[in-house]
Homo-oligomer: A and B are copies of this chain.
Amino acid sequence: FDKDLYEGNEMAGVVTGLAWTPVGGDILFIESNLSRGKGVLTLSGQLGDVMKESAMTALSYLKSNSDSLNIDYRIFQHYDLHIHVPQGAVPKDGPSAGITMLTSMASIFTQRKIKNNLAMTGEITLRGKVLPVGGIKEKILAAKRANIKEIILCYKNQKDVEEIGEEYTKGLKFHYVDLVPEVLEVALLKTKVDNAIEFILPKPKDE
């Protein structure tokens, strides 16, 4: 089955994550979508409590660090954000998609492209720390099968990578990070996607 093949970076907000499942590692796609609205967050894809809180945490981080990413804060107030994780019928949970969801949101809000052939896995905290996650070996095998070339991990997961034989990690470039800005430094390209959204925003009120 070819779901796992890597699918390019023409669209803002589509980021490749790595998941652990009882039958082995897998890749997953986080999709983000903005539409004019009132700042409502919608989550779909049968996400569990922990994964939903991960998304909320990623959004809060982004809101209070919008300046460093040149995101106009009014976008948060005048657009609705929808995060979907295909396949829609497969229940998903856990904190390890934290950096993937945050990167997806950063891309959709900046309309910047995601680096090609990149995957990532790692929990985030509200202050932007990246925490290590489990299932590293299975996730790396799945990434290779899906033609991934670079992987972002918490620096505390480096030891897990080193325990895997080199034949499994050959051809993969690992980025070990401690904080969210390092993730975005690697993942977000400078260029915007084609047909980038031109945000329609009200004039700011006097303050």
Residues of A whose CB lies within 8 Å of any CB of B are 2-3, 11, 13-14, 29, 31-37, 42, 44-46, 49-50, 53-54, 56-57, 60-61, 63-64, 73, 76-77, 80, 82-84, 86-89, 94-95, 98, 123, 125-127, 129, 131, 156, 197, 200-203, 205-207
B residues near A32, Cβ cutoff 8 Å: 126
**Nearest-CB residue, chain B, relative to A125:** B86
Interface pair A88/B53, CB less than 8 Å apart:
yes
Closest B residue to A44 by beta carbon equals: B53
In the bound complex, CA of A197 to CA of B66 (Å): 12
Q: Is there contact, CB below 8 Å, between A50 and B89?
A: yes
Q: How far is the CA of A113 from the CA of B202 in the complex (A)?
A: 36
* Interface residue SS majority, chain A: mixed
Count the copies: 6
A90 to chain B, nearest CB (A): 9
Cβ-defined contact, B95 with A89, below 8 A: yes
When A36-B63, A95-B89, A156-B2 are in contact, do A11 and B127 touch as well, CB less than 8 Å? yes
